[in-house]
Structures are given as C-alpha cells and as structure tokens.
Structure 1
C-alpha cells in the first residue's frame, strides 16, 4: 500500500502499550518510529541501573520483543529470563544484552540498532533520552517522591511531574517527530509511559511545531491503578497538551463515548482483542491509524 511508503508515523510511550502500537504499525517499516520511555527503576531494569547506571532498557526490550516476527535462537535468547536463587534470578537476558552492547557502543541508540539488525526489526526504536534520569512527582499533600516505582505507588493525586535530572532528548527522536504525518500518544501507563517522554522540552516543542501532523491520543482499555487512576481523561489530555506547549490533541480514540469532552474530537470504535478484552487488537489499531492518515 502506498500509504506505508508515503506517510511517517511516530508513537510515543513505553512497555506493553507502545509495543502493541508498534506491532500494529509494522507494515510502515522504517517509516514508523517508537520513542520509548527510559525512566523505569523496577525489576531487572532497576537492578541493572543500580549496578551499572545508564538508561532503563526494559521498555525498549519489551517493544522489540513484540516486533519479532520470525522466531529464532536469537529471539529466544533475547526474551530469556533467568530463574533460580542467585544474582541472575529475575534478570532478562535482553536487558543484559542491551546493557553490554551499550557499554561497547558509543551511544545507547547504537546498541538498539545492533539488536534491531540481529532480530530483523525494521521499525525504528529510539530511547527518549540517552542519559540516565528518573521521574519525580509532587503529590497534593506537598510530598515529593523520586523513581518510577515510587510514583506508581503514591496514594495521593499528583499535581506535578518532572524529570530528575533534566536531560536532553535523543536528536533522532526529535527529528522523527518533526517529519511525522501522525504522532500517537498511548496506549500505556499514563504517567510513567506517555508523560515521561513528553516531559523533555525538545519533544514537546517538536510536537508543537509540527502543525501538519495529526496528534492522536489512544485510550487504555482498563482502568489504571495508582495516581494515574485518580485522573480523569480530560485531565490527562490537558497534561499532554501542557507538555506540548498548548498544542491541541486532534483526536481521542477509545471504546467509550465521552460527551463531556466538548473541546476534543473523539472517535469511538472497537479496539479490544477478541480473546483478551484488556489488550488492544493489532488489526483494529492498524485500521484506525490507516483511516486517520487517509483522511
């Protein structure tokens, strides 16, 4: 289809949600780019960051896993998780491979591209930043917490979210946004996946400046826990637009109608996988993005 060759799509997020979206964009090949959150500090990723430093690799690994179309020994290695009682227990080999390649490479993006080439993944995967940083949040009660896992566990509603320290965005990601015909936010964890990349000033500025691109927000299919679960959809859209320097979201896509969202255009359509109602169906996501780009 000529659409795949003519149009460029950027999806922003992290983990399972972004991986699902990118797998729906696989026919766009190198005309599709995922900009991945790098602030995770839990699980295998957090342990590696504690010992080795560097950016969080878990969300990038997750996205690559969902884009592997040809199972092989290499892909099995990349997805392998150690079990047992020693230091390796719970570690994912893909995280360790990316960390090792990062140590051998000039920059993290080189490590990702080496893995992409090895696993024959065409879609561009770009970390939001190549510098270590963490999420930092201020609750309504005036209490600050640092670290993605701590943010997720906060009992109170958030009034502010920022990166600590403030780091530069990856230039290739900014360029991809500037050249995109569609920029997709979500699905995924709102505060830790979608908002994290938007907190980079260069990312917000690039979205603001690309007025020709359609800015699309994809809703989750199940309610979130933690402070994100206390936010209304209207608040989430306003947070995104504030980070994009006032740039309006062009269309909100979800399964439920939102008559209260009078300031946004909403597309209500089926998105759920037939056998798992909490997970987005790749084919349905693909159809939505194709129709929006064809308008």
Structure 2
C-alpha cells in the first residue's frame, strides 16, 4: 500500500483539480478522487505501462467523472430557504452545484487564472460532458488529440469535432488583470459589504453586474436588482453582524463570511468577486449549506 501511495502522491492534487473542473463541485471532486485512486489501486496489477502512469490515472479519473455526471443526471442540491423574504430574482441559475476552489490548493506555477476562473468552470458545466472533457484534456492539460482520443476511447476525428464545438461555446478569455486595482476594489467592497453600505457597493458595480448564490438558483442582474437583494439580506440578519476574512478562491478575490452574535461566530460560506478594470462584474455568494 505504501508503494501505491508513493506512486500516486505526485498526481493527487492535479487529479483533484481535474475532477473539480469536470464536476464544478469541490465536494464531488473529493469523492471522485477517492474513487479514482481506489480503481487505480485495484487495477494496478493489470497496468501494462503502454502509457505513462499519469496518463493512465487521468483516463480513470476522466471516465469516473463522466460516469458520475451521467448517473447523477446533474441533480441540483436542495434549495436553501433564506431567513428573509428575497425580492423576485431576475432569473434562476442552472449550475447550482458550483463550489469555489481554494487558492491555497492551487500551484501558482501550473494553474493559469483563465483555466480555474468561475466563468470557465461554469461554462464547462453547461457543455456536453465529453466536450468538456476533450477541452480540458487538450486545452488545459496539453494532451495531444491522439492521446485524448485514447483517454476517451474514441477517435481523433471525434475529439477534433468535440473541441471545435466546445471552443465555440466559450466566451473571450478574461482581460489582463491589474492586481493593485483589483485588491483595492475588493477591499472597498468587503468594507462596504460588512457595513451593509449598499450605496457604496452600487458604485463599485458595472452596469451589467450580476449576483448568484449557489446552491440557491436566484440570480440578480444589474445594480438596482443586486442592491434590492442585499438590502433584504441585511434586514434578515437581525442583530448579527457580518465579518469577512480574505480567502482567495479560483484565482479571484474572495472572502469567508461569518455571522457574529455575541460570542457565537457562524460560518456562512464564501463571497467571490470578478473584477473588470476598476468595477465588479459579478458577485458569487456561495452559501454554506450547514
């Protein structure tokens, strides 16, 4: 058993990230990584080394993820009930299983921002799963088309077709970031958010900004709709105050949120920001299901 752990240890973190990209859920990635390692351990005696160990592990992980997506039919998690009466949402989101990925687990040398940003992960969830798998394997992990065909048990021609369709569905990559401006905007947002200063938050938003709250499907588009929701949310906390701690996620500015009442400090999830130039274009408020 020790030798198997030594063999697979160099690949576990990248396999976990691969499962996260495929599934959009940190929790599901944990489960699928364990399934992958168990399947690899059981299959190790039959591993014939026609491919590298890394390639073999990726084949197992990819197919386990595809099976999980197919078997679950992407059942959405239970919709949480807010402790206040929220305004009517602009729309209802379809990727309610999305979860953040902590920056602390990302390798700065290996993970590009555009390959882990929430917009990219969300786009992958909306693709047919085999298209998403082909895109990740070729464009993110740099497997060749023939290698990807082998991993997916298909033909290079089929992989090329899947890639073409997947790439066509993606939006433009994020613009170059100004980290100093980004930090300043995020700091100003955090201070205003904790103080329920909705007026200041509105000044920090782009005209087409949106707010989403996985696993709740509610989405609010535009500063007036976002402000209306934040005002209702602030009014539903009663005497609790809101505290934020920096906790980067998906290579984006992010904060861990706590409700504090006296000596009680309750973790309520994350808020993750996407910042364009000097304004916030999206707020994703990941609610703690606990």
**TM tier, smaller:** under 0.3
TM-score of the superposed pair, with normalisation by structure 2: 0.26
Greater Rg over alpha carbons, structure = 2
TM-score of the superposed pair, with normalisation by structure 1: 0.26
Larger helix proportion of the pair: 2
